[in-house]
Structure formats: C-alpha cells, structure tokens
Structure 1
Amino acid sequence: LAKAGLKTLVLEAKDQVGGGCGTEELTAPGFRHDPCASVHGAIQAGPILKELGLERFGLRYIFPDPLHASVFPDGSSLVTWRSVEQSAREIERFSPKDAAAYLRLVAFWDRHIRDVFVASRYAPPRRPGELYTLLERREAGFEVMRLMASSPLEVVNEFFEEEHVRLHVLKASLQGGPFPDQLGYGLLVFGTGSGARHSFGWAMPEGGSLELPLSLVRALRDSGGDVLTRSEAKEIIVEDGVARGVITGDGRRFTAQKAVVAGLHVRQVFLEMIDHRWLDANLVEAFQKVRTGLSEVVLHLALSEPPRYRADFGVDRVVHCHVPETMPDLLAAYAECRKGHLYARAPFQVFCQTLVDGTRAPSGQHVLNAGRYVPYDLSGRPESWREIKNQLLGEEIERVREYIPNVTEKTVLGKAVMTPLDIEAHDAMFYRGDIMGLGHVLSQEGHLRPHPSISDYRTTIRNLYLTGACTHPGGTISGAPGRNCALTVLGDLGLRVSP
C-alpha cells in the first residue's frame, strides 16, 4: 500500500511488532526462541519477498538440509533431504517399493499440483465451480480432485505400505493441526508432507522469526509509511456505513481517508470493535459460532550442548525432527484430542534452530522447542491447563528425554512451557489457542473463509477490509492474506504498485 503511494499507518497493540511471528528470550538471557511460528516455508512459494525487496532490509533466510527427520520408538530414523532422489534412497532402506512411490508422489506434485497450489494462495479464493472447471481442463485434473477430497491418511495408505514410511510422510503432512482422517485435505500429503518442502525449502530467518516483521517495518518506513507500537485499536469508526478510522484504547483517534484494514481475528473485529447496528445480525451470529482447530503444548529449553538423539542414523544435525510414535499411537492421540483428552504417547516435533543459526544462543549453546497438538477444552475445562502447567513442564521434558537422552538437569539451562491458554494470551489472533486463527475445516476454507459475504477481503462495511489468518488462505507464514488484501484495496482505489 505504501509503495503505491498511500499514506500508510500500522497500529500495533504490543511493544513489538510480529504477533505470532516473533522471537523472545523465553528461558534464559541470550537464548532467542520463536514462541509460535518458526518455519517460513510457505512464503518462499510466493512473490512477496522479491516484490518488497526484504533482503535489502536485512532479512536473511537459512535453508536447512536435511529438511526434516522422523525418529521412531525402535531406534530407527528416516531423513528427508532437499534432494528428492536422496530422500528416496533413505526410504529405500525401509522399502524399495515405497521409495519408488515417493518419487511418483513428488513428480505428481511437480506436474499437476504445484502451480495450481501457488496460484490459488496468492489470489482471492475461487468459487468451487471455478476451481473444478479449471481442474477439469487440466491433465490429471479429475485425479487431483479425487486426492483433494481424500484424507491425509487415505492418501498415505494409498501410496505407501511400510509403517515407518507412512508415519514419516503422514506426520509431516499434519503440520498446522489437521486430523489424519480429515476429508478434503489429502493434498497436504503432496504439499507440506513432501513436494512443497522439496520445491521451496524449509526456511528459517537468521536471528529468529521476528526478523521478518522487522524487515517489513523497515520496508514500510522506506516507502513513507510508519508503525506505532503500544497503540491497540479498540473501535472502528463507522459513519453512514463507511469505515472512517479507528480509536485506540487510550482514546487516540486516527482518521482514514481511503481504507481501514484490520489484521485481527474476525471475532474481535465484528463482535467487539464495530457498533452492531452497522452489521447484519446473521453475520454477527456466524462469527459467534466460528470453529477452531487444535491447539498446542510447546516446551522451550535452553541447552548447554546440542541434542543427541537415540537413533540409528545421524539425525543430530537435523533442525526439525518428528517423533510420530507408532501408527496406533498417532491415531489414538488425535482421537483423544477430539474427546478433549491427552494421550500419553502422543506424537511431537522438535526444533533446534541453533544447529544452523548460532545467532540465537550464546556460543556453543542451543535453543530447543518440542510441541504437540492438544485440545483447548481439556476435559471440557480450558482452565485445567492452568492447573496442570507446572506438572506438564516436567512431563514434557521427560517425553523429550526418551528420544534425546542428553536433555538432563545438567544440560538444561532454562525451561518454559506454553499451554493453549498461554498461546491464546500471546496474541488475540489465536482464539482458543488455535494458531491458525480459524480452524482449517471445509466449512471455513476458500470462499467460505471467514464467511461467504466477506471472503474477498472486502467486508460489508465500505472501506473496511479484513486480512490475516482468518482470511484466505489462512494461517502460516505466507504473506498471502496481506498481499491479496492489499491488491484488493489498490484495485478498488484504481491504483497499482510501482516496480
């Protein structure tokens, strides 16, 4: 917006920009952890990094290779590399047939899914009829439709036979919290489960996730815009059905001549910030009933030495490791989540960014986080998380120690655990602890996200636009909701961005 010549002001509620894309000293001085988002793979697929020239403003990405690994209870491990062929050779240790299937799966992504995937994210959502018409005209379009309608578990079982391989691909496909048996999400196996990682890398900003929003602030100011921190927008001014500005919590009033763009949770905007006389009652009711997905428990550790896994292959250099447990355990864990319960042998994932980025911790020392998906309503009572938090910290360390035995009292220099309540308190976008803003279910995807009447980033109030994780294509660090919304605003104003 600023590059197009608009006088642009960002109001940030907190002391620091970033929201869920931040970096903080959570455990000990000098140890920089990402409380929420850590991987910036999705944004590599789109044009925003080059369009805004963020490298010029200090943003540097590290592309770890290997991409990720899985460590299993029997002591075996399986590694995915940036090279598809090298990854297939890893799978061949478990099953030559599955190695060939992996090559076919990634080739199908490259030929039939990749370009549709990217184009669909960096544009307003298509209506279902438009999408199916597009696919009908493409080679293998009907096969893409079939796979898209399937669940991740069905696709994994269709392609692979050996359990370690199935677990490895399935757990990677469930990044972000979908259920393994969730129909309509089969293409995740081709995306986050395999092909997208090979195509775009599993990138992390040098210095931590916060470096992305900091570079955006520098770029904004270079184009004449500005950011005000400690300036929480509490009310959207509406006059005669037109958004005219905002009022902050401390009473300051900011007038907008062209547009107000809300990068906030849809419930916050429509239930708290706008006088309901300007809103359709059905819209208000819909946002009172939005669905959320799973939340997380995340353990953060400051370590005096790098993690050393109990595994048969050298995974100690791998930044991102999954512990999928067994297939019965994985499926049981998600089934218990649906009931609001915890499962003792739940799968989890581990990040140790300092294996490739020494700026995040004192020399020779490391940051580590381990997270697993959990229900927000624990046994029907979200406040239960507060009651068990101290106990949970010790239990999560014990779980990690099963697979990383050198996580001991001697090597742990600092520790913290985030429950769903902590995640919800961290940022208003994470309603009910869902880091995706709204749950990724078919009733809240594409032209239905967050509601059919406002899915194109324009709201029912003139000059008021909505962006962020509650809009298409949803959560993750992609830049897509913001870019799509900005281009919509510029189009409505008859403007375009200068090269």
Structure 2
Amino acid sequence: MRDCHCGKPKIRRGEQMSDKRYDAIVVGGGHHGLITACYLQRAGMKTGIFELQSKLGGAVTSEGGPVSGFRLNPGANWTRFYGHPAYTDFNLREKGLEYIFPDESEAMVFDNDTCLVGYSALKVVDPLTGKTEVSQENFQKTLNEIRRFSKNDADTAEELFRRYMKKWKSAFGKYRFNPPVPWGEKNDLEKLCDDPKDGFDPVHQFMTSQQLAYDLFESEELRTLFIRASMTSFGGAPDDVIGLHGFVHSLGLVLSWEPAAIAKGGSQNVTNALQKAFTEMGGEFSVRSEVVKLLVENGKAKGVRLRDGTEIGARSLVVSDLSALQTIQLIGEEHLERKIVRRVKNIRYNRHNVIWAVLAIHELPQYKAASFNPDCGPQPRLYMGPRNSDYMANQYLSEILVKGISSKLFMFVGPDTIWDASRAPEGKHMIGVEEFSAPTRFFSASRWQELRKEFEDTIIRQWQIYAPNMTRENIIGCRVFTPYDIELRRPNMHQGSIAVGDMIASQMDRFRPTPELSNYRTPIKSFYLCSAATHNGVGTGRGCSYNCYQMIREDFGLKQ
C-alpha cells in the first residue's frame, strides 16, 4: 500500500473562520495527531487535521529509495503499533496494517567474533492481534547464550523475567497508557518499589544506564549491550537517569523478552491505516497547511490561523501534535506566564540526535560471529560494536559531541526485507541503520554535508570488521539522514532529536515536557498537547495521544 491521499477538506484559501468550522482541530498530522483525531471523530466531534508537510504521518512514513525499486522508512523503522489500543479500537489490521513477527529477536555482534543472540521469550501466537505466550524453549535458549559469557548474568536474567511476568509487565502497560499521576502520588511502576519480592530495587529508579548495566551484569557483553540498547530504546545516554520506565523498556529488548515486529510494506502503513480509519468516520484533513497562530477568545481556544491568513474555527477544542516550543509559539508568549515560557525554552534536545542510514545491497551480511552461533545474522534488531562497556559508557558520546562521529561505531541494524520482500527487488535486500551524532547546532550546514559522507564511508568500512562481504561492491545504494536533515524534514524534532525533548528524569513522567504542561492541558482552556513531547515520550505506539484523549474525554464528558 502506498501513501493515502484521501479525505482532504475542501477549504478555499481566504475563507474566514465563520466559513469553515470544526468541533475539534488537530494541529500537526503525525501519528499522535492522527490517533487523537480518530478518537475525537469516533466520539462524535467533527474533526479536522492541518498538516505542514505534503502528507500525514510525520516520521512514521515510507518513500522510494535509496535507489529505484526499494522502499525505505526515513524515520520510524522499528515499530510495534499492534500493542497500542488504537490498533484494535479502529480495526487497523482490516485497514491495511499487517505486522510480521519474525521468530528471531535481538542480537549483538562483537569485535572478537563472538555474539549474544536472543530468542523471543514472548512469542506471538495470533498474528492478527499480536497475542503472545511464553515460549520456554526460546527463553531457555537465550539464557544458555548468556550463560556462555556469565552464569551469574543468566541467573539475573532469569529472575528479572520472573518479576517481569509476575508484576512488571502489567504495571508497565498501565503506566504507558495512563496520564501521569500528580507529584506525591506513586505511579504503577513506583508502587513496585515497595515490593522487595516481585518489584524493583528502589535505587534502580535513580541510577544512570551505565550504573544499571554494572549493577545487574558482570559480563562485558551484557553491559555493553544494555548501555547501547538503552540509547536506542529510550534515548538515554550512559550517564542519564532513565527511570523505571526506561529500565523496563530497555531490559525487554536487551534480554529478548518482547517479540520483534515489522510493519509489512513499511511504516507508512501505520499512517495509512490510521488515516483510513479517520476519513471513513468522516474526519477531514488538509496537507501543506501550516498553522501559525492559535485563535483565543476570553482565554479559550477558538480556532487556528494558517500561514496564508485562512482562519478555521473550533467549536470545542484544539489539539497540538507539535513540540512544546512550537506549541507555546502558537499561543504567543505574551499569553503565558514567564516561568512556563522559560522552562519550555530550556527543554534539552541533546539526546537521541540520530543518524539514519539505509543501504540497498546485493547480498545480506555474512557475520564472522556465525561460527560462534550459526543463528547470528537474521535478527530484526542487531547491534554490532566493540566488546568494551567502558568505551561505550565514557568515550563514545564524548567523541560524538566533539567530532560528530565516534571512532568506533555501535550500529543498530534491521534487515527488514528478509521477512518483507515487498520493499526490495527480487533477490536484493535493504537494511536500515541507526547511529548517533551531535545536536545540529554543534556544526555548520557544510560540516553536516561532510559528515553525511563520513558516516556512509565509516559505516561500510567498519561493517567489514564484523561481516567482510559488506564491501562497496555489495552496496547498490545508500542514503544517510543526519540530525541536520531530520530537523529540516521534521521541524518539531529540534536539534535533530527524535525524542522531541530528552528522556531524562527532569523531562519525563509528571515533568514532561514541563510540570505545568504534563497533564496534556495547556494554560489556554480547551487547548491540548498530544505529541511525543508529553508523557511517555519517544517511540511509535507510546501512549501520549491516547492519554491526551483521556484528559479531553474527562473534560468534555466524551465516550471512551
């Protein structure tokens, strides 16, 4: 399925607010804007989405490339949207969102030709719903692989999974799909710090990802993998406190608890399915329609103004799917307390500044570590890097911030076309690569252009350390997106940070994006914030927009 362009509202340029009105307006058509709009439309509110770009979806899209015949994801690649309430609430499987669940899970390949391969402990037994059951066979296989490096680490992994299945997993789901609780009240994860048998060690909520890695594991392999994986799964640097949410989320991937999933046809189909659900219920959207101003009357949101002067009225409410900074700019600083403005302007965007590269190749990488474990290679989530947790924790990011690129890469790759052949010509493959770089402000536009080429060359050169066949001759084409490119394409991702605000303790949970905006409501009545800037942050399928709708539902007495 290609991009869907149906459902555009018929708005003529120059119409005044009285000429076009909705019950609800959503500013920004990223996947969170779409989710919120679907729930509003289903609740009986006539809803319109206004999007700056030429299509909806934000970073959850696909396009042709890196060369003709291939289809890449220029943003979100590793999605598991089947676990989001919207997947079943709007029958997205019937709308074209089909997930493939590979038997393989996660692995890390090291520079000494060994590897740690994980097998999904929770195996999908119903592809239509994503329902899982524990696979004792897979779980024991993962433990056996860990045991090759450390018996103690295998014992730790076994105990952690017991706790996960006993109480963590349920609490994690409640935490993700509920608004944050007020300060002084414990959320579902924090409550488990009072349970020494099945809950958390209280100190873990205050540890950095490096401290967590060293506290839990003794092997270089598990320590290195945990630190690197927490950067991908949660955006936390080694010296960042990632909280219980980041702790559980990272462990679920590092220890291969949760299954991998691939959106068939590309991430665009997440957007297409949501868009189809929205328009079939009567929702409307307009692309290339930049909203520049929130219209306010007597302290209440009443509509929006577009770049060309068109004004659109909102009878009930307006929702922003933008960053916190863009949102206060829509309001106008003069309408807000100085404290709120100052705090929003001080939000950090120094983490999750990613490099996305996509390579079209003739043949798949042939990893030398397959001699250590023949299953190494066809994993939907595979890391590679030095077996060196100290370098990963203390030098890697420092080099990135100074030079834009580290001397030793820790690549995260996904060869989706092993399972989804629709995105590459027959017999060819495509692999997505994630690495990290610096915030865009650190370098000039010309330096970013140089770094784009440096990353391409370094990725190919260092890949050969692990898979000698990954030579230039094996590469059909490559496209690299730097943080500079990402910010140009997605203006809400300030500094090229896909997290839309660092996932650090002071910018998470009841403090995300700031304490004053953390319940999805803004100081302007009937104006809400639903983007990844809110609890619970970065990632396709997080609860931000779903939780925002819960607050709207409460305020307006709408149905669930």
> Into which bin does the TM-score normalised by the smaller protein fall?
over 0.9
- 1:67-466, aligned counterparts within 5 Å? 67-83=105-121, 84-131=139-186, 134-135=191-192, 138=195, 140=197, 143-175=200-232, 176-185=234-243, 188-194=246-252, 198=256, 200-271=258-329, 273-294=330-351, 295-311=353-369, 312=371, 313-314=373-374, 315-325=376-386, 326-331=388-393, 332-337=395-400, 342-376=405-439, 384-466=447-529
Within the candidate set 42, 47, 58, 1:8 is matched to 47
Query: Which TM-score applies when normalising by structure 1?
Result: 0.93
Which whole-Å CA distance do the structure 2 matches of 1:403 and 1:189 have between them? 29
Corresponding residue SS for 2:473: coil
Shift of 1:138: 4.4
Shift of the 254–144 alpha-carbon distance from structure 1 to 2, 3 Å rule, reads: farther
Within the candidate set 53, 56, 59, 1:17 is matched to 56
Shift of 1:363: 1.4
- Opposite residue 392 of structure 2, the aligned amino acid is L
Corresponding residue SS for 1:10: strand
Which whole-Å CA distance do the structure 1 matches of 2:405 and 2:90 have between them? 43
Corresponding residue SS for 1:55: coil
Which whole-Å CA distance do the structure 1 matches of 2:264 and 2:200 have between them? 39
Shift of 1:410: 2.6
2:128 paired residue number: none
- 1:472-487, aligned counterparts within 5 Å? 472-487=535-550
Shift of 1:55: 0.9
Q: Does 1:54 align with 2:106?
A: no
Which whole-Å CA distance do the structure 1 matches of 2:441 and 2:212 have between them? 30
- Opposite residue 109 of structure 1, the aligned amino acid is Y
- Opposite residue 377 of structure 2, the aligned amino acid is D
- Opposite residue 283 of structure 1, the aligned amino acid is I
Is the CA contact 1:156–1:189 (under 8 Å) kept in the aligned structure 2? no
Is the CA contact 1:429–1:469 (under 8 Å) kept in the aligned structure 2? no
Shift of 1:378: 7.3
Task: State the Cα deviation string for residues 162-211 of structure 1 (Å, max 9, x = none).
Answer: 21232233322332421123234366343223369755422221111111
- Opposite residue 61 of structure 2, the aligned amino acid is G
Task: State the Cα deviation string for residues 394-420 of structure 1 (Å, max 9, x = none).
Answer: 223222233232223332111111111
- Opposite residue 30 of structure 1, the aligned amino acid is G
2:79 paired residue number: 40
Query: Which TM-score applies when normalising by structure 2?
Result: 0.83
Which whole-Å CA distance do the structure 2 matches of 1:391 and 1:324 have between them? 18
Shift of the 12–289 alpha-carbon distance from structure 1 to 2, 3 Å rule, reads: same
Q: Name which of structure 1's ranges 257-266 and 188-197 shifts more when overlaid on structure 2.
A: 188-197
Is the CA contact 1:190–1:196 (under 8 Å) kept in the aligned structure 2? no
Shift of the 373–391 alpha-carbon distance from structure 1 to 2, 3 Å rule, reads: closer
Shift of 1:279: 1.7
Percent same amino acid at aligned positions?
Answer: 27
Tell me how many residue pairs correspond in the alignment: 495
Shift of the 193–411 alpha-carbon distance from structure 1 to 2, 3 Å rule, reads: same
Is the CA contact 2:409–2:462 (under 8 Å) kept in the aligned structure 1? no
Which whole-Å CA distance do the structure 1 matches of 2:312 and 2:435 have between them? 41
Which whole-Å CA distance do the structure 1 matches of 2:263 and 2:90 have between them? 16
Corresponding residue SS for 2:279: helix
Task: State the Cα deviation string for residues 97-150 of structure 1 (Å, max 9, x = none).
Answer: 322221112222222322222111111112342117734664548744322222
Which whole-Å CA distance do the structure 2 matches of 1:161 and 1:134 have between them? 28
Shift of the 152–106 alpha-carbon distance from structure 1 to 2, 3 Å rule, reads: farther
Shift of 1:379: 5.5
Shift of 1:32: 1.1
Shift of 1:257: 0.4
1:492 paired residue number: 555
1:29 paired residue number: 68
Shift of 1:239: 1.9
Please, which runs of 5 or more residues in structure 2 have no aligned partner?
1-39, 122-138
- Opposite residue 203 of structure 1, the aligned amino acid is A
Shift of the 378–346 alpha-carbon distance from structure 1 to 2, 3 Å rule, reads: farther
Shift of the 233–277 alpha-carbon distance from structure 1 to 2, 3 Å rule, reads: same
Shift of 1:275: 3.0
Which whole-Å CA distance do the structure 1 matches of 2:169 and 2:159 have between them? 14
Is the CA contact 2:349–2:502 (under 8 Å) kept in the aligned structure 1? yes
Corresponding residue SS for 1:202: coil
Which whole-Å CA distance do the structure 2 matches of 1:309 and 1:123 have between them? 42
Task: State the Cα deviation string for residues 351-396 of structure 1 (Å, max 9, x = none).
Answer: 1111111111111211112221222157665763234333332223
Which whole-Å CA distance do the structure 1 matches of 2:391 and 2:308 have between them? 50
